[in-house]
Amino acid sequence: MPRLKTASTQLFYRWDGPDTGPVLVLSHALGASHAMWDVNVPALARSLRILRYDSRGHGLSDVPPGPYGIERLARDVVDLLDVLELEVVDFCGLSMGGMVGIWLGANAPGRLRRLVLSNTSAHLERPDAMNARIEAVRRGGGMTAVADTMLERWFTPGFRASNPSMIGRARKMLLETPPSGYIAACQAVRDMDQRSLLGKIASRTLVVAGKRDPATTADHCHYLLDRIRGARLVELEAAHIANMEASAPFDAALLEFLGES
């Protein structure tokens, strides 16, 4: 398993696709891992060189003591690109991964060609909800205390009922997330306010929204759209983890956007 030592931690990463293709970095949601993108890789890796990684505190990466911050999570990506000697990449982040993408777009513009911000926000207005989640994990026996609630937010009822194997994979990701890493990343999302950064993003940007997303609603996505110069919007019939629930239209939107001249 490839693990890369950066200045402050060790990150798991994985390559898929042709060696010579343009590099697309995929950044996962809070409580997920690089495996969140398994359903998308077959389509995307036909023409793109896919770099997936596990954020600190998640998956197969190390779990440094928290709390984390979005800036720290984003600097991990810069460190990863530096060690892998990647100067410029395309970047797609969903939920927490999209928050990382906002920071990169504003603070490391020379490293990004195109930016995809999926099911994400520049600022969450209800810290009490994240605090309740943190306390549930601390006091309720780890990730099992929040798994059912998170799956209900991640996917629509119809998708959950008709795709038990996909839901099983998503549950496995949640349950395998180290509780201390999850809490530390929850604190990063809770404390984030990147609204002032949106006007600094110069990369061509695609915003992807789930029409039935209860977490980062349409209002969050339109806020990004209105404040990032030249951004465009794609809305999908999905809840929060749109890349899994609406994988085919998600893949098509990315490939069209990234392939434009």
The string of pLDDT tens digits covering residues 40-94 is 999 999 999 999 999 999 999 999 999 999 999 999 999 999 999 999 999 999 9
228 has pLDDT over 70: yes
208 three-class SS? strand
Residue 143 sits at φ, ψ, to 5 deg, of -70, -20
Per-residue pLDDT averaged across 131-140, rounded? 93
What is the total count of domains within the chain?
1
- Residue bearing the bigger pLDDT, 188 or 125: 188
Domain hosting 216: range is: 3-259
Per-residue pLDDT averaged across 128-147, rounded? 92
CATH of the domain at 250: 3.40.50.1820
What pLDDT is stored for residue 8 in this prediction? 81
CA distances 40 to 26, 183, 230, 242, Å, are: 10, 27, 26, 11
> Rounded CA gap, 72 and 70, in Å?
5
Query: In angstroms, how far is the first alpha carbon of the chain from the final one?
Result: 36
18 has pLDDT over 90: yes
Per-residue pLDDT averaged across 145-149, rounded? 96
What pLDDT is stored for residue 226 in this prediction? 97
Three-class SS of 101-143: HHHHHHHCHHHEEEEEEECCCCECCCHHHHHHHHHHHHHCCHH
7 has pLDDT over 80: no
126 has pLDDT over 90: no
5 has pLDDT over 90: no
174 has pLDDT over 80: yes
The owner of tokens 């993408």 is 101
- Percent pLDDT > 90 in the chain is 92
236 has pLDDT over 90: yes
Per-residue pLDDT averaged across 99-127, rounded? 96
> Rounded CA gap, 49 and 84, in Å?
13
Per-residue pLDDT averaged across 253-260, rounded? 96
Residue 171 sits at φ, ψ, to 5 deg, of -60, -40
Name, in order, each residue with C-beta under 8 angstroms of 185's C-beta and a sequence gap of 6 or more. 30, 31, 55, 56, 57, 58, 66, 68, 73, 96
What pLDDT is stored for residue 261 in this prediction? 66
What pLDDT is stored for residue 127 in this prediction? 81
Whether residue 90 contacts residue 17, with contact meaning beta carbons closer than 8 Å, is answered with: no
> Rounded CA gap, 119 and 94, in Å?
6
> Rounded CA gap, 227 and 123, in Å?
13
Name, in order, each residue with C-beta under 8 angstroms of 113's C-beta and a sequence gap of 6 or more. 22, 88, 89, 90, 203, 204
Per-residue pLDDT averaged across 109-119, rounded? 97
What pLDDT is stored for residue 1 in this prediction? 60
> Rounded CA gap, 45 and 23, in Å?
10
What pLDDT is stored for residue 128 in this prediction? 87
